[in-house]
């Protein structure tokens, strides 16, 4: 790992990008309580009060000072006994405006809606990115990497990770955000609802060019939403979370709130045949988000291996080793994303072709599994020829199937009898003597996978 590439480098790059698109950038220490340029009275205050007051005055020039003060109070003290209720109340104020009352020149009480954010003219808002924004609440001290404020109101928290650190993943970043949520609370339900609405709108808009332009952003928000909707604090399981995010991309997201077709989030047409089809692999190859394509292929191949592991022990073991080697090289930065995508696609094609071998060999799925167990790639075994190996595999299936019971793996006498039968068949068809012991063990291992299904049949 490069010693010069640290998380601070990522942070500086992120701030530079934000500044280039119009955000002001401030260091949290500069605006911290007690500093000459302080914008907070204490570390528990997260709203930048003066910026909010200035925005309210700028966006509502017709309102008197007392109405602006009323809006400020309602924004900084949203109604509700529980956090989630307060968050919903604040969201309504941000979107719909704040209802205020004031006395006009004649002394009459009047009502109005004070705007908090100018949605029509984004440039009329105060955009501020603060890095290392320390917050102390409920005796917990936290310092998010970047907090994004609009008109003084913190609306987003960005957790940055070093891409050169193999332990720094989107899931470790999410766990950090999860900690912030638990200790410096934010609006989980509001986020879930907003992303659900975004997904619905996106699915309706695809394949419009403007919709495709934001598909990467939609994909990210959907992955975060899926985890927020499923996990309770302390119950995170990153592997399952990644699986769920990938399933969102390749199929449909099924959530308690409803079913949303979001396959288009990755810009892919939903395949109507195998996920390892040529059409699907071509679309994955052309995905612009390369890292997501790697993750997608890796998860799909692992899922395919899990299925094959229940049917064909030799195939699953061989392909699992190949997959592990490829991913390890990628994680060690020995190969780039584009190259690993090509290697994973090539592996997918090999798996597809291996599955199709049964047809060309005129073998059933079970017979093919035993055929592979005979070490057919070994040169000393190959000389027997396909016909002999095919006949051997077919007889092994018939013999083993006729002699297994549900508990045969626990009964040593049955195992010993099967071992004798398998060796007898191997000798009869001329299997090389020095290969018979290993082939016997593999055949019995394969039989253990299939015996429960056979015994129940």
> Which of 121, 150, 184 is the last residue in one of the domains?
184
| pLDDT at site 453 | 65
Q: Is residue 99 scored above 70 in pLDDT? A: yes
Most confident range, picked from 86-90, 291-295, 331-335: 86-90
Residues 176 and 148 in one domain: yes
From residue 2, give the alpha-carbon distance in Å to each of 47, 326, 329, 333.
38, 21, 16, 11
17 and 136 share one domain = yes
Last-in-domain residue among 214, 243, 268: 268
In the predicted model, is pLDDT for residue 266 greater than 90? no
Does 150 share its domain with 12? yes
* Residue bearing the bigger pLDDT, 44 or 154: 154
Percent of the chain predicted with pLDDT > 70: 71
Give the domain extent around 344: 271-361
* Interval 429-433 mean pLDDT: 86
d(CA 57, CA 87): 23
Q: Are 457 and 318 in contact (CB under 8 A)?
A: no
Is 53's pLDDT higher than 90?
A: yes
Q: 308 or 152, which is more confident?
A: 152
- pLDDT for 165: 59
Residue 313 is predicted with a pLDDT of 85
380's enclosing H/E stretch is helix 379-382
Note the pLDDT tens digit of each residue in 344-360: 888 888 888 887 788 88
Mean pLDDT over the full length of the chain: 76
Whether residue 192 sits in one domain with residue 253: yes
Percent of the chain residues topping a pLDDT of 90: 13
Residue 116 lies in a domain: yes
Q: Concatenate the DSSP letters of all residues of 307-375 into one string.
A: HHHTT-HHHHHHHHHHHHHHHHHHHTTSS-HHHHHHHHHHHHHHHHHHHHHHHHHT--HHHHHHHHHT-
d(CA 222, CA 200): 11
49 lies in a domain? yes
What number is the average pLDDT over the span 353-377? Answer: 81
Q: Do 83 and 173 lie in a common domain?
A: yes
pLDDT-based confidence at 229, cuts 50/70/90? low
**pLDDT at 242 > cutoff 70:** no
Could you tell me if residue 2 is inside a domain?
no
pLDDT of residue 232: 38
What is the structure's pLDDT at 256?
32
- Give the model's confidence band at 271: pLDDT under 50 very low, under 70 low, under 90 confident, else very high: very low
**In this structure, is residue 418 part of a structural domain?**
yes
Task: Kindly state whether residues 248 and 289 are assigned to the same domain.
Answer: no
Interior angle at CA 414, CA 411 and CA 415, nearest 5: 85
- Please return the burial class of 158, using the count of CB atoms within 10 Å of its CB with bins 0-12, 13-18 and 19+: middle
Clarify whether residues 105 and 159 are in a common domain: yes
Tell me: do 164 and 307 sit in the same domain: no
Shared domain for 21 and 153, answered yes or no, is yes
Parallel, antiparallel or unpaired: strands 127-131 and 24-27? parallel
Last residue of a domain, one of 305, 331, 361: 361
* pTM score: 0.41
When divided into structural domains, the chain yields a total of 4
**Model confidence pLDDT, tens digit, residues 138-184:** 667 878 889 999 999 999 888 776 655 556 565 666 666 566 555 55
SS3 at position 89: helix
- Whether residue 1 is contained in a domain is answered as no
pLDDT tens-digit map of 172-213 = 666 665 665 555 546 555 567 777 777 777 777 766 777 777
Are 20 and 129 within one domain? Answer: yes
Q: Where are the alpha helices (DSSP H) in 104-214?
A: 170-183, 188-205, 209-213
User: Do residues 113 and 45 share a domain?
Assistant: yes
Confidence (pLDDT) at 408? 63
Better-predicted residue by pLDDT, 337 or 398: 398
- Could you read off the pLDDT of 310-329 as tens digits, one per residue? 788 888 888 888 888 888 88
- What is the average pLDDT across 397-418? 73
What pLDDT shows up at residue 106?
81
264, 320: one domain: no
Residue 40 lies in a domain: yes
Identify the pLDDT of residue 284: 72
């Amino acid at each position: 790992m490069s010693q010069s590439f640290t998380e601070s480098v990522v942070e500086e790059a992120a701030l530079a990008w934000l500044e280039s698109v119009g955000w002001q950038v401030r260091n949290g220490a500069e605006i911290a309580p007690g500093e000459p340029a302080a914008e907070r009275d204490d570390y528990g205050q997260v709203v930048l009060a003066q910026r909010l007051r200035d925005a309210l005055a700028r966006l509502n020039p017709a309102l008197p000072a007392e109405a602006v003060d009323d809006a400020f109070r309602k924004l900084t003290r949203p109604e509700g006994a529980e956090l989630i209720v307060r968050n919903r109340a604040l969201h309504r104020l941000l979107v719909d405006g704040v209802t205020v009352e004031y006395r006009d020149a004649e002394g009459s009480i009047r009502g109005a809606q004070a705007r908090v954010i100018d949605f029509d003219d984004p440039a009329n808002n105060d955009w501020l990115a603060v890095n290392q924004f320390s917050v102390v609440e409920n005796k917990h001290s936290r310092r998010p990497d970047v907090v994004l404020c609009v008109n003084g109101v913190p609306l987003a928290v960005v957790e940055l990770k070093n891409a050169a650190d193999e332990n720094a993943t989107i899931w470790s970043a999410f766990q950090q955000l999860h900690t912030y949520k638990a200790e410096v609370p934010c609006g989980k339900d509001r986020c879930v609802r907003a992303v659900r609405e975004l997904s619905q709108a996106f699915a309706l808009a695809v394949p419009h060019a403007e919709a495709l332009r934001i598909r990467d952003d939609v994909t990210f928000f959907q992955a975060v939403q899926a985890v927020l909707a499923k996990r309770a604090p302390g119950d995170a399981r990153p592997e399952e979370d990644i699986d769920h995010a990938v399933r969102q991309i390749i199929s449909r997201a099924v959530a308690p709130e409803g079913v949303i077709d979001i396959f288009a989030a990755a810009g892919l047409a939903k395949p109507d045949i195998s996920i390892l089809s040529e059409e699907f692999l071509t679309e994955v190859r052309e995905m612009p988000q390369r890292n997501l394509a790697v993750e997608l292929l890796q998860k799909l191949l692992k899922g395919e291996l899990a299925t094959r592991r229940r049917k064909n022990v030799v195939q699953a073991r061989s392909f699992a080793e190949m997959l592990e080697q490829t991913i390890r090289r990628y994680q060690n930065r020995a190969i780039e994303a584009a190259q690993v995508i090509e290697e994973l696609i090539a592996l997918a094609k090999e798996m597809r072709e291996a599955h199709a071998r049964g047809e060309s060999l005129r073998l059933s799925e079970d017979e093919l599994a035993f055929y592979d167990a005979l070490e057919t790639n070994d040169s000393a075994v190959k000389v027997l020829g396909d016909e002999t190996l095919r006949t051997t595999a077919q007889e092994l299936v018939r013999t083993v199937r006729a002699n297994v019971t549900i508990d045969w793996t626990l009964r040593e006498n049955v195992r010993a009898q099967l071992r004798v039968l398998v060796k007898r068949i191997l000798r009869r068809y001329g299997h090389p003597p020095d290969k018979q012991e290993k082939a016997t063990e593999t055949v019995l291992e394969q039989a253990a996978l299939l015996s429960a299904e056979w015994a129940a049949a």
